[in-house]
Structure formats: structure tokens, C-alpha cells
Amino acid sequence: MQRLIDAFINSVRAFRKLAAHEKAFQQELMLFALALPAGWFISVSWRGYALLIGAVLLLIMVEVLNTGIEAACDAISREFHIDIQLAKDCGSLAVLISIVIAGGVWGIAIIERLIGTPI
């Protein structure tokens, strides 16, 4: 049980650090805060609402992992190294892919709401 408590404390510490210092994470938290009520009005079912919110949470999760990759790379060296650049670029690509996924899910939900039938 102590391991779960320690993991929770570590997670809260990371959340606070990211929320205080990482602009992308702050923006995504704002997006999440807006998505909670907007998703309620856009979705046509509980499943749809869960998918909309899940897409935003996926984006936040990938951003957290990307920030972790960047922090680990910076801890190793701040000098240019091709492998470090690749690691950071791959993290950035993962964020971009999750943005496309979230945008697609929200776009489809908005279209379904506007036309009144599932696509």
C-alpha cells in the first residue's frame, strides 16, 4: 500500500511542477477544463462524451511523457547531440499525433451533432 501512496505523491508533485512551469501543459489543462462542459453538449451519448474527454486526456498524457523525455535529455546534456535531438523530435511527433487524434474525434462529434446522425 505504501508504494501506491508514494506513487500518488510523486504524481501530484509532477502535476504541480508541470502546471506551474510548462506552457503546453497549462494550455492543455485549459483545453480540458473547456472540454468537460463542451463535450457534454456536443456528444450524443455517454460513450461519445467519454471518447471526447478521453481524447483530451490522451493528449495531456502524451504531453506529460514528452516533457519527461525532454527533461531526461536535458539532464544528460544540453549540448547538441543527434540522438538527443531525435528523442526530443519523436516526443514532439507523438504530441502532434495525439493532437490530430483529438481533433479528429472532436471534429467527428461536432459534425454528428450538427447533422443529427452518426457518421
Rounded-to-integer distance, Cα 16 and Cα 2, Å: 21
Hey, what's the cell of 47?
Answer: 460513450
Which residues does the annotation mark as catalytic? 63
User: In the 3-class helix/strand/coil scheme, how is the chain assigned residue by residue?
Assistant: CHHHHHHHHHHHHHHHHHHHHCHHHHHHHHHHHHHHHHHHHHCCCHHHHHHHHHHHHHHHHHHHHHHHHHHHHHHHCCCCCHHHHHHHHHHHHHHHHHHHHHHHHHHHHHHHHHHCCCC
